[in-house]
Amino acid sequence: MKKINKHRYRILLVAMPLLFLAIFYFYPLIKIFSLSLMPEGVWSPGKLHKLVSSTFYARTLWFTFWQAALSTILTLTLALPGAYVFARYRFFGKNLLQSFATVPFVLPTVVVAAAFQALLGPNGLINIWLMQWFDLSYAPIHLNHTIWFILLAHVFYNYTVVLRIVGGFWSRMECTLAEAAQVLGASPWQTFYKITLPLLSPAIFAAALLVFIFCFSSFGVILILGGPRFATIEVEIYRQAVHLFNLPMAAALSIIQIIFTFALMGVYTALQRKTAVNLTPASSARSQRKVASCRDRIIVGGNTALMIFLLGMPLLALIFRSFSTDNGLSLVFYRALFENPTQSIFFVPPMQAVSYSVGFAGVTLVLAVLLGLPAASFLAAPQKRLGALLDPIFMLPLSTSAVTLGFGFIIALDRPPLNLRTSLMLVPLAHTLVAFPFVVRSILPALRSIPGSLREAATLLGASPLKVWQAVDMPIVGRALLVGAVFAFTVSLGEFGATAFVARPQTPTMPLAIYRFLGQPGAMNYGQAMAMSSMLMMVTAVGFLLLEKVRIGGMGEF
Amino acid sequence: MTLLEVLNISKNFNHEPALSGVDLSVDTGEILCLLGPSGCGKTTLLRIIAGLENADRGHVFFDGRDMAGVMPHHRRFGMMFQEFALFPHKNVFENVAFGLHMQHYRESRIKNRTNKIVKIVGLEGKEKRGVDELSGGERQRVALARSMAPNPRLLMLDEPMGSLDRALRERLIQDLRRILKKMGITAIFVTHDQAEAFTMADRIAVFNAGRIEQVDAPEILYKNPSTSAVARFLGFQNLIPGTVIRKGRIDTEIGSMRIDTGSMPVNQELTVLIRPEGAHMPEKRGGVSEFVPAVSGRISDCCFQGASYRITLITESGRALIFFLPNHFVPPRAGQKIQLAIDPGSVVLINR
């Protein structure tokens, strides 16, 4: 009898998150499928087939594919030396550099796009300097609306993914393996490609796959930096749905996007499980050496310089451009954010976007934690089939692109039985969907790290289940919960793909405001985009640097 | 014939000396054991000999040639690592054959040689196993086979028994010596376990705090430890400070003792080592004759250990001495005051 009660209580725990996913994830997803397979309410897959076989469709898919592949190769080429340096050397400022390298990854896509505009765009820092120095009347660097701009931004974004995954794996690899090979007569090159490389390959492959997935579903970067000439599936879904209002086409594209990201995520998850168990962890103290020789100095110094140039320059340019006007440095762009001149592209002062963003992020934080905590508690308990089934289901929103989620929202939630079209809640709900898996993933390792005997000891000492949770789980999970909450908040602040669909014009968020500013001509709009991007960058960067401090070693990796 | 010669090697880590002025030589076909507590620099010395680490000062000569600047992969030494360092992505055969591939042998020769070595270490039939499917003892054998396969000019073994359990160690250590001797391999063997060192070594070098205290054959080392650090590390507990007061007479805190002082000058400070098996109950009723060295005190503990009784004697100066008394005597009881005769042959005088 007691056992049944306990079981019932656990089911209750998981009911809310499941209900949430059913309404705001699976229902919109079904809508997308029905829209493309039954456009007029009757079963007609022929229409979908016709769309899929068109050259336009193939061209979009092909572009999505090769830009992602090229971005991945470029990222690996630039970041693998960094992974080596971080795995095998101890040097001054290493931890700081690693934290700093993470900042681009957590920045909103819109900010990244704005930062590259600020550095290399037609009005960018480098073009302005070149024009001044060489007395040119035109901007010499034409990266705007070229593939190079997109690739650069993707490298900037994903550098840290390779650095963390491969570097982390590499540093845990026993040095003695390479030394054993050397003593057995292998030259440094043979040691690398017969021992180190094969052992690293699961990590390299996992990192490459993750970068590929991110670039495959890249939206903001392509939309802003690529201009009208380039469109990934994501961008095309947005154009078809919002600009051309061709919903069946958007739905058909969404299906392809869903299938691809699911398949890729599935492979990645399987691979990640493999990389987690393969090697016995070595203490990094033994495998890392100090920078001693001249060669060491060149390697470490060169890599540090590359990182600072690649990852630091765009951000510095962004901040610089937010202050620089024709009359020198000033706060004029920041001040303009508070005004609402008649010709404004907004219905409200731009500063309102900040308060909307913060409000949405606050609601998202509360919702995501309220849903994530019971879900994680359920998964953490030792269990059999149900947990193994639910774990991947809770992660599904993570493997679905934000644009697909947003598109699903507008086609599913705009009519009875659930009409949320005018509701302010639509944006936080979409953000919660994106943030929820992060919260679960942040809390779960901490919950699982608590040995069962600890709870049993507390129970035997006379603590009730609630007391056990208070005395044992809560203090240990508290930090993880904080990490999850900050995650949810920052994810919401920077979310662009889904927001682009669901936000009302009167209630824009900061990323939307930046996007609109960048789309308008004139120095004032450009400057305001820079100013708002700088603000958003500071908030997200500070949030994540705090997380780095709070985070307990080893948990909350991707 | 001297094969390896290590001259005045010094190495610092973070301004702490790990090795200071180490001299050592190994003859062809010899098994030399580096014995010492963990963290005393044994592994560092091995790594310097292998070329994996550079010494701050000193030289390594092999076969009369200075090894400075010779890369590890050109030295043709073998090394068996502490945790074995087997390649996890290769099976048993591939692990053993790796060194042979690096020598660019013909495929057929690699196959023959690998099969032969695998057979010698007793892993026949397990060639295709992955290394994670092996037991600790089997991994140890793979590691040994891999380091021996390319016919190294010098084999170094770094605590090869370290992670194995006691019973397995004792069995494997004898196998190991048999295999090394059979193949005529010159080897340096690192351990912190004196029993292992005694079983394995032709000669033992006792390490302490980055220095070599004594290098000798096991029997000589055991009979004549040259410093009290060596004596303590060999497990001797009865170490008493003393002074030579005249020829054949030593004064200690437990009384004065008649003992052959050899060529030691008067007033020489020294440490008196009394072996635990060197004491016996006095034969005469009246106690120990004054011509025989003796110790007296109160028994605090006496326990039966099969072949002997292990007694703890507390001297009047408060020092605890441990002795093993043969089991055919009636043992003393705890609390009893007693005088024990000491066999002069089991007393060693160590210069201080």
A146 in the same domain as A96 = yes
Q: Can you give the pLDDT at residue A7?
A: 65
| Position B254 pLDDT exceeds 50 | yes
A184, A199, A280 ranked by CB distance to B98: nearest = A184
- Check whether residue A276 and residue A389 sit in a common domain: no
CATH code, domain carrying A501: 1.10.3720.10
Same domain, A61 and A172: yes
What is the model's pLDDT at position A368?
A: 94
Percent of chain A with pLDDT over 70: 91
Of A309, A318, A284, the residue nearest A82 (C-alpha)? A309
Q: Is the pLDDT of residue A204 over 60?
A: yes
- On whether any CB of chain A is under 8 Å from the CB of B102, the answer is yes
Indicate the helix (H) or strand (E) that contains B75.
Answer: none
Tell me how close the Cα of A175 comes to any Cα of chain B, in angstroms.
9
B69 contacts chain A (CB < 8 A): no
Task: With respect to residue A204, please indicate whether it lies within any of the assigned structural domains.
Answer: yes
Does B76 contact chain A (CB < 8 Å)?
yes
pLDDT at A66: 94
Q: How many CA atoms lie within 13 A of A385 on its CB side?
A: 0
* Residue A434 domain-assigned (yes or no): yes
Burial label, A252 (beta-carbon count in 10 A; 0-12, 13-18, 19+): buried
Residues of A in contact with B159 (CB under 8 A): none
Listed residue (B107, B104, B110, B171) closest to B135, CA to CA = B171
Q: Is A468 or A7 the better-scoring residue by pLDDT?
A: A468
Average pLDDT over residues A212-236: 89
Cα–Cα nearest to B48, from B34, B38, B37, B36: B34
pLDDT tens per residue, range B89-148: 899 999 999 999 998 889 999 999 999 999 988 889 999 999 888 988 889 889 999 999
Each residue of B11-34: pLDDT tens digit? 988 888 889 999 999 999 999 999
Q: Which of B73, B81, B88 has the CB atom closest to A185's CB atom?
A: B73
Domains (range + CATH), chain B: 2-231 (3.40.50.300), 239-351 (2.40.50.140)
Determine how many CB atoms are found less than 10 A away from the CB of residue A482.
Answer: 16
Do residues A192 and A262 both lie within one domain? yes
d(CA B102, CA B113): 14
Indicate whether A140 and A280 sit together in one domain.
Answer: yes
Enter the pTM of the model.
0.80
In a domain, A65, yes or no: yes
- Asked which of A310, A329, A348 is the last residue of a domain, the reply is A329
Average pLDDT on B271-285 reads: 82
Contact between A122 and A139 under an 8 Å Cβ cutoff? The reply is yes
Domain termination site, one of A329, A359, A378: A329
| Nearest Cα to Cα of residue B35 among B214, B190, B169 | B190
At residue A278, the pLDDT reads 41
Residue A183 contacts B, CB cutoff 8 Å: yes
A323/A338 same-domain check:
no
Assess if residue A48 is contained within a domain. Answer: no
Q: How many domains does chain A have?
A: 2
Residue B264 corresponds to which tokens in the numbers above?
């030691």
- A75 — pLDDT class (breaks 50, 70, 90): very high
- Asked, for residue A467, whether it belongs to a domain, the answer is yes
Contact with chain B for residue A398, Cβ under 8 A: no
Residues A449 and A492 both lie in one domain:
yes
Q: pLDDT tens for residues A448-504? A: 777 777 777 888 887 888 888 777 777 778 888 888 888 899 889 989 989 988 888
3-state SS of A118-154 is HHHCCCCHHHHHHHHHHCCCCCCCCCCCCHHHHHHHH
Of the candidates A289, A312, A329, which is a domain's last residue?
A329
**Probe site for chain B from A183, A189, A195, A280 (most B CB atoms < 10 A):** A183
Q: What is the pLDDT of residues A400-433, one digit of tens each?
A: 888 999 999 888 887 777 777 778 888 999 999 9
A364 in the same domain as A348: yes
Do A452 and A358 share a structural domain?
Answer: yes
| Token pair for B222 | 């055991």
Instruction: Determine, for residues B89 and A198 on separate chains, whether the beta-carbon distance falls below 8 Å.
Output: yes
Cβ-based contacts of A185 with chain B (< 8 Å): 73-74, 76, 99, 102-103, 150
Peptide bond into A417 cis (omega under 30): yes
Is residue B83 less than 8 Å (CB to CB) from chain A?
yes
Same domain, yes or no: A222 and A251: yes
**Shared domain check, A236 and A91:** yes
* Domain assignment of residue A34, yes or no: no
Give percent above pLDDT 70 in chain B.
Answer: 97
B88 in contact with chain A, both atoms CB, cutoff 8 A: yes
The reply to whether A105 falls in a domain is yes
Q: How far apart are CA A306 and CA A313, in angstroms?
A: 10
Q: What is the domain range of residue A498?
A: 331-400+425-558
Size of interface A-B (CB pairs under 8 A): 69
Q: Give the closest of A181, A185, A278 to B88, CB-based.
A: A278
From CA B95, how far away is CA B142, in angstroms rounded?
8
> In this structure, is residue A407 part of a structural domain?
no
User: In the predicted model, is pLDDT for residue A237 greater than 80?
Assistant: yes
ipTM: 0.78
User: A24: phi > 0 → left, psi -120 to 50 → alpha, else beta; which?
Assistant: alpha
Mark whether A259 and A374 lie in a shared domain. no
Contact with chain B for residue A197, Cβ under 8 A = no
Section A152-178 average pLDDT: 88
Residue A280 has a pLDDT of 42
Question: Best of B11, B16, B71, B73 to disrupt the A interface by mutation (most A CBs within 10 Å)?
Answer: B73
Asked if residue A384 lies in contact with residue A13, where contact means CB atoms within 8 angstroms, the answer is no
A26: pLDDT strictly greater than 50: yes
**Statement: residue A197 has pLDDT above 80:** yes
For A172-186, A536-550, B336-350, which range has the lowest pLDDT when averaged over its residues?
Answer: A536-550
Q: Which tokens is B263 given? A: 């060529």
Alpha carbons A274 and A201: distance in angstroms, whole number: 11
**Other Cβ atoms closer than 10 A to B76:** 19
Of A185, A187, A198, the CB nearest to B76: A185
Structure-block tokens of residue A79: 């970041």
| CB-based contact B87 A190, cutoff 8 Å | no
What pLDDT, in 10s, does the model give residues A339-364? 766 555 555 677 888 889 999 999 99
What is the C-alpha to C-alpha distance for residues A25 and A18, in angstroms, rounded to an integer? 10
pLDDT band, very low/low/confident/very high, at A279 (cuts 50, 70, 90):
very low
Q: Can you give the pLDDT at residue B340?
A: 87
